[in-house]
Amino acid sequence: MRKSGTKGIPQARHFPGARPSICLRGRLQGRKQEHLQGQGYIRADYQAGVALGKNYKPAVGYPIMANERFRIVLVGTEYELNLGSVARAMKNFGFSELFLVSPKCEPLGFDSVKYSKHARDVLEGAKVVKTLSQATSGCKFAIGTTGVLYRHWAETIRSPILLSDLKKKLATLKEGKAAIVFGSEGLGLSEEHISQCDFLITIPASNRYPILNLSHAVAICLYELSAIRPRTFTPSGESEKEHLIAGFSMMVDRYKHVMRNPRKVKIAFRRMVGKSMLTDKECASILGVVRRAGSELAAIPSKPPRNRVRKP
C-alpha cells in the first residue's frame, strides 16, 4: 500500500497480488468508468477470480466485445507454453475461434492450461484438424503471416503487406470470416502452406532480428484487429473466388508451353485476388469475362510447342 494525495487514501498496486481492503474496494467501485479506463483497472476481485477459473470476469475494466469475424489458425505448434499464451491473448482481445493444424504439443497439456490462465475455455473449444484447407474452410480469406520477406523466390511469391494495411482493408468488409494463419515456432509456414493463402502479412520489426515469438506475434495481430470498426461492403464468396482463380489457371495452362513458370503465375493471380478484397459484384463481373475467354480459347485448337534451337 502507498499514500495518495493529501487525504492519505491508500491505493492498491497495479498487479494481481494486491488485494485492497473492504473500505477501499467500496471506493474503487464508486469511481467513474472513464477514470478507471484512463488509469487502468485494479483487479480488486483477483482472489475470487482465481477460484472461478475459466469463468473469471473482472468487476471493472475495459469492455471487451467478442470478435466473430476472425479465426486464428496455428500450424504445427511445438510448445505448450506458446499455445497457452495464444489462448490467453485471444481471450484478452475478444477472440474465441481457434483451429490447430497437426499440433506437435498437447492442446490441453499442463503448460498449455497453465499459461492460458483464465482462457482455458479457448483451449477446450479449439478444433484440431490435419490440413490447412480444413482449418480455413468456410472463410472468405486465408491470410498467412511471415517474418521472412524473401525466400525460395523461384517457387512462390511472398510479397507480404503490413499489418496496418490489412487493418485498413478489413475495416470495410461487411460480412465474411477471415482466417489468420500462423506457422510453427521453428520454421514458420511452409511454401506449400503459403501457396494456399490468399496473401501474406508481416509485422515491421528490426532487420537484425525480425522473427517474433509466436505468441507475441499473435498478440500484436489481435490487438490491431480488435480495433476494426463496422464494415461497408460484401466481399466475394469463397466459391466465387475459387472459380475465378480456376478460370484464370485454365487460361495459364493454355499458354504454359511458352511460359517459364506457370505455377508462379497462378500464385501471383491468387495473391492479387486476395489483396484486392473483391466485392461480390466485382468478382461476378470479372468471372463472366474469364469464363467467356476460357470457352473461346477451348474452341481454338492448341498449337504444339516449338522446339527452341540454341545458337552455338
Give the Cα separation of 123 and 178 in Å (integer): 20
* Rounded Cα–Cα distance for residues 224 and 180 (Å): 12
CATH number of 70-225: 3.40.1280.10
Among 133-147, 186-200, 252-266, the least confident range: 252-266
- List the helix and strand counts (H, then E) for the chain: 13, 7
Average model confidence (pLDDT) for the chain?
Answer: 76
What is the maximum alpha-carbon separation in the chain? 96
Domain boundaries, the chain: 1-63, 70-225, 238-299
Tell me how far apart the alpha carbons of residues 123 and 106 are, in angstroms, rounded to a whole number.
10
For residue range 140-163, list pLDDT tens digits in order: 889 999 988 765 555 566 688 899
CA 111, CA 222: separation in Å to the nearest integer?
22
Q: How far apart are the first and last CA of the chain?
A: 88
Distance, CA of 96 to chain centre: 12
Q: Is the pLDDT confidence value at 35 over 50? A: no
Say what the pLDDT of residue 78 is.
96
What number is the average pLDDT over the span 173-178? 76
CA of 65: how far to CAs of 94, 230, 305, in Å? 6, 13, 59
Could you report the per-residue pLDDT of 77-87, keeping only the tens digit for each?
999 999 999 99
Report CA-CA distances (Å) from 153 to 150, 158, 190, 193, 267. Answer: 7, 8, 13, 15, 12
Question: Closest Cα partner for 149 from 157, 140, 141, 137?
Answer: 157
